[in-house]
Amino acid sequence: MRPIRAFNVTPALPQRLEALRTLAYNLHWDWDVEMVDLFRRLDADLWESSRYNPVLMLGTISQDRLNEIAEDEGFLAQMDRAAQRLEDYLRDRNWYKKHRANSVPGECYAYFSMEFGLTTCMPVYSGGLGVLAGDHLKSASDLGLPLVGVGLLYQEGYFAQYLNADGWQQERYPINDFYNMPLHLEREASGGELRIPVEYPGRTVYARVWRVQVGTVPLYLLDTNIEPNSQYDQDICDRLYGGDIDMRIHQEIMLGIGGIRMLKALGHTPTAYHMNEGHSAFMALERIRAFMDEEGLSFAEALLVAQASQMFTTHTPVPAGIDLFPPEKILHYLGHYRQRFGLGDDEFLALGRTETGDFSAPFSMAVLAIKTATFINGVSQLHAEVSRHMFGDLWAGLPLNEVPIHAITNGVHARSCVAKSTQALYDRYLGPNWSQASPGAALWQRVQAIPDDELWRNHEQCRSHLVVRVRERLMKSLRERGGSAREMTEAQECLDPFVLTIGFARRFATYKRATLFLHDLDRIRKIINGNGHGHRVQFVIAGKAHPKDIPGKELIRSIIHFTRDEGLSRSIVFVPNYDIHLSRDMVAGCDVWLNNPRRPREASGTSGMKAAMNGLPNLSVLDGWWDEADYIRTGWPIGHGEDYEDPDYQDDVEANALYDILEKEVVPLFYDRDKDEIPRGWVAKMKQAIYLNTPQFNTARMVKDYANQGYFAASDRAHTLAAQNYGPGRELAAWYERLIEHWYDIRIEEIAFSETTDLRVNQPFKVVARLGLGALTPEDVQVELYQGQVGVDGEIHTGIATPMTYQGQDADGHSFYVIEVEYTTSGLQGLSLRILPQHKYLNSPYDPKLVLWADPASVKVVSGIPLQPTTLSQGALS
């Protein structure tokens, strides 16, 4: 029976406890261990059963308990300290103020992501992408950045995982009760729900807006599960990554287009827009439309103005991971934008195509994001290199190493992932600012001052805590599916708190090779059982396979079957329903963090960073972030960065390398104890992991990089193009049109050298070029000499480009450029000449994606020119 009226009933807190409500609704409590202690103290059992949700806990705790605690002076003092700490935190975020003194008026950055992993009680994320987004918001708050997050709020979120008796993954979709989560419903001035309209074919879909307060950063989430939407439209925000291709495009329209409209309705006017993956790239279409309708710009002008303030981060190292939509779907759902822009079908679809002349090619969200962004980055040094290969064709003719896809390596939020006791240890010996200190800060030298025994005993406590938590989780899982008495007994006895514990937790995608450690069953059995010397090894494994990923589910089942068949249920434990809370226990309580994907398919990876912050050495293939870490001092590399064509051979080689490292290095180092039972060599490696990895692979460093390289520049550029009623933007668009019309009329006619083909190292020589620029002027182009070593194939693969100096024109209108260069190394060296566009309002000469190279078959080359400048001014080359 439907109610005739509904009310949102909030807890009736005694006035003295009202601060608890303020604390509960700001997620700062998630990374403040003392606030977590406060809520646990309120009711420890309820804290656990509520999935660590203070809002739900306050709504279900008995009034008697609230009245009792209101008289507890000790609790009240702790609560007052927590409230003061939150107040101080919200006021004293100073990094942005210090480093952006001359900011654009009203500066604000909008961060769009399909998922946000912030805390266990908000299961609206699937894995690393979401947790990275959540950590991004937390560090933006820590630094005081004026950032807002934009996403979708999923009624069923991502699935909860459980295993049947055969070890096959099953999915359950618990319903998220938004009214009992740390969410604020945004309302209009009249008090009614704020509703955001978004047009879909034949109807308008409405979304309401929920806000999550993440420290100083608001995260706004759109929710379509409301009337008057149809049932299908209500389900747009039903499940993360659920449904078919039509549902996916519905979600991405709501995120990108709905997100832009939501920000406007809330009164936010961002100066930079950050697309975390390509899911939100439709935002560009809405922003272009708004510039045309509201500012009177043409499509070409609006495109350039929108592009100036947009950034794109790709997390995908393989083409199969990119969202692609059939052309007919794009035209069906977004054809009204094509009409408003005045474009033909293929002109519109070209916004999302690499090969614009391939009229059957699908529409790529990543390509749309790249073509409408002023700054593009991958999430590790290696991933940026991979991305330049994936997307390099968008800059035809540009050497791969110059493709403007930058690297900002991911990080993790230190206070969110380091165990409570370990944080206290760092606070004591490093000082309270360690979680945000930059690489090279003096405090990191103090890591060596942490007493070995204190660090080791703390870690042993973390390992013991992990064992207890894993047993509890297994027991709970078995009770829910009706496990046998034997299984219950095994779960109560699994894992040994004194045995070397290896952790593996990630998405169960096949390329991550979760079962590589089982490649040689006899060998791993011996390693687990101690190889005859009693030094045993145990594994804690967790992770989810996508509901439709049958091979991923097979990997989970194979681990379960091997464990049962070999009687190793006490030594190999798969823990169901991996989430943020379990992750924190694992990265603190394991001894080694294992990662063995097929290189180079791990864009970055972040769980190993969390482990390193807790002092865990990593044991990993050189992929993602680990490839740029100090993998000798802070762990062990599997292989040396080789790439293989035969995956079976790769598995053989790297599995054997894994076993060798375990047998010869990891196990002996862990069990080599002194008279005090301290593994001094192991502790030394733990300290190196903390010292080298914590400051480098930290979102404090990462978000500063985004600010310095992206947000500040994009805001300045957008402000520049918008000045004087978008005068600079209009000028740039007119220049673009003229440039494209006349670019291919440029002729590189003659290149002359002051020397012949024989040169000595460091011998200077002069190069002069005569160009026909046609209707373009020297102010429109940048002429560069490109020099480097010639490979065996006769090509210069990696060269250095140096601008040439414009010297004037002759009577026939030819333009002359000169440069004096030398070679600093011997061997077969070569050079060429290239032309790039330039304009005072152009962000980069690569933005127009035009480059013209000298063609050896058509350019006249002469040697022995005089060195006198007068020759150049007269235009006589020989």
Q: For the segment 390-425, what is each residue's pLDDT rounded down to a tens digit?
A: 999 999 999 999 999 999 999 999 999 999 999 999
**How much is the average pLDDT of 320-331?**
94
Nearest to 472 by CA among 455, 494, 454: 494
Digit-coded pLDDT (tens) for 185-216: 999 999 999 999 999 999 999 999 999 999 99
Burial class (CB in 10 A: 0-12, 13-18, 19+), 484: exposed
Residues 6+ away with beta carbon under 8 Å from 629:
612, 618, 635, 692, 693, 696, 697
Backbone angles phi, psi at 127, to 5 degrees: -175, -140
Query: What confidence score (pLDDT) does residue 324 get?
Result: 96
Digit-coded pLDDT (tens) for 540-596: 999 999 999 999 999 999 999 999 999 999 999 999 999 999 999 999 999 999 999
Yes or no: say if 11 and 55 are a contact pair by the CB < 8 Å rule. Answer: no
Q: What percent of the chain has pLDDT over 70?
A: 97
Would you say residue 874 has pLDDT above 50?
Answer: no
**How much is the average pLDDT of 238-242?**
91
- Cα 254 from Cα 251, distance rounded (Å): 5
Would you say residue 873 has pLDDT above 50?
Answer: no
- List the structure tokens of 373: 């962004």
Query: What confidence score (pLDDT) does residue 492 get?
Result: 92
Cα-Cα end-to-end distance for the chain: 95
Amino acid at 436: Q
Would you say residue 259 has pLDDT above 50?
Answer: yes
Task: Give residue for tokens 């060195």.
Answer: 867
Would you say residue 877 has pLDDT above 70?
Answer: no
Query: What confidence score (pLDDT) does residue 762 get?
Result: 85
Enclosing H/E stretch for 207? strand 203-214
Query: What confidence score (pLDDT) does residue 157 get?
Result: 87
Per DSSP bridges, beta strands 765-772 and 747-753 are antiparallel
Would you say residue 861 has pLDDT above 90?
Answer: no
Per DSSP bridges, beta strands 109-113 and 169-172 are unpaired
Per the DSSP assignment, residues forming a β-bridge with 818 are 768, 805
Digit-coded pLDDT (tens) for 22-33: 999 999 999 999
Would you say residue 150 has pLDDT above 70?
Answer: yes
**How much is the average pLDDT of 591-620?**
96
Q: Indicate if the alpha-carbon torsion angle 269, 275, 276, 281 is positive or negative.
A: positive
Residues 6+ away with beta carbon under 8 Å from 821:
764, 765, 767, 785, 787, 802, 831
Lowest mean pLDDT among 247-256, 564-573, 603-612, 824-833: 824-833
Query: What confidence score (pLDDT) does residue 876 get?
Result: 42
Calculate the CA dihedral of residues 734, 738, 740, 744 and round it to 10 degrees: -170
Has this prediction a pTM greater than 0.75? Answer: yes
Yes or no: say if 512 and 549 are a contact pair by the CB < 8 Å rule. Answer: no
Query: What confidence score (pLDDT) does residue 878 get?
Result: 41
Digit-coded pLDDT (tens) for 806-845: 999 998 899 999 999 888 888 888 889 999 999 999 999 9
Q: Say how many CA atoms lie within 13 Å of 477 toward its Cβ.
A: 25
Question: How does the average pLDDT of the chain come out, rounded?
Answer: 94
Label residue 772 by pLDDT band (50, 70, 90).
Answer: very high
Digit-coded pLDDT (tens) for 455-490: 999 999 999 999 999 999 999 999 988 888 888 998
Digit-coded pLDDT (tens) for 55-98: 999 999 999 999 999 999 999 999 999 999 999 999 988 899 99
Q: Residue 265 has what DSSP assignment?
A: H
Lowest mean pLDDT among 411-415, 623-627, 856-860: 856-860
- Cα 186 from Cα 183, distance rounded (Å): 9
Query: What confidence score (pLDDT) does residue 10 get?
Result: 62
The SS3 assignment for 179 reads helix
Residues 6+ away with beta carbon under 8 Å from 226:
193, 195, 206, 207, 208, 234
Q: Quickly count: other Cβ atoms within 10 Å of residue 568's Cβ.
A: 18
Yes or no: say if 591 and 670 are a contact pair by the CB < 8 Å rule. Answer: yes
Query: What confidence score (pLDDT) does residue 105 get?
Result: 87
Q: How far is CA 155 from the centre of its chain?
A: 24
Q: Say how many CA atoms lie within 13 Å of 193 toward its Cβ.
A: 19
Buried residues in 515-540 as b, exposed as e (16+ CB within 10 A):
bbbbbeeebbbebbeebeeebbbbbb
Where are the alpha helices (H) located in 92-229, listed in sequence order? 95-99, 128-143
**How much is the average pLDDT of 509-527?**
95
**How much is the average pLDDT of 285-313?**
98
